Amino acid sequence: MIVRNLVFLCVQNSARSQLAEALARALVAPEVRVWSAGSQPYRVRPQVRVVLAELGIDSSGHHSKGLDDVPLDSASLVITLCAEQVCPATPGVTVLHWPIADPAGEELHDEEERLERFRMTRDEIRARIQGLLPKLR
C-alpha cells in the first residue's frame, strides 16, 4: 500500500489522535504527510505533551483540529481511534479502525495514574504504527 497522506481521526482530537499524529511523524518516511483531526475538537490534553516529551518528541505546536482542517479528500489512509464513541465517517477513503480506549475518558484524581494511562496509550499506538510501517513502503 502506498500511503502519501495519512490521517488519524477521533472525536475530540485531544489525546489518541494527537499521540498518533506525533508518533507517526516521528516514525514514517518523511514523504508521508500526517495529520489528525476530530469531529468535535476540544484541546490537546497536557498529558499528551508530557508523554511525547518522554520520547523526545516536541508537540508544543500541536492544536486540536476539526475535520475541515485536514485534507480528508486526498487521504491515502485514514485510521480511526475511537473505542467508546462513534468515530467520524469517511466515505470513499481506505479506513483502518484501531479501537483504543480514551486515556482521558475517566476522571482520575492522581496525576501519576493519569500519566500512566497516557503512556500505555502512547505505547499501544506506537506499536501499531510500527506494525504498519512495512505495509506503507
Cα dihedral sign, 89-129-27-84: positive
Q: Are the CB atoms for 20 and 52 separated by under 8 Å? A: no
Q: Are the CB atoms for 137 and 28 separated by under 8 Å? A: no
Residue 112 CA to residue 88 CA, distance in Å, equals 31
Q: Tell me which residues are annotated as active site.
A: 10, 82, 87
Please tell me whether residue 34 adopts helix, strand or coil conformation: strand
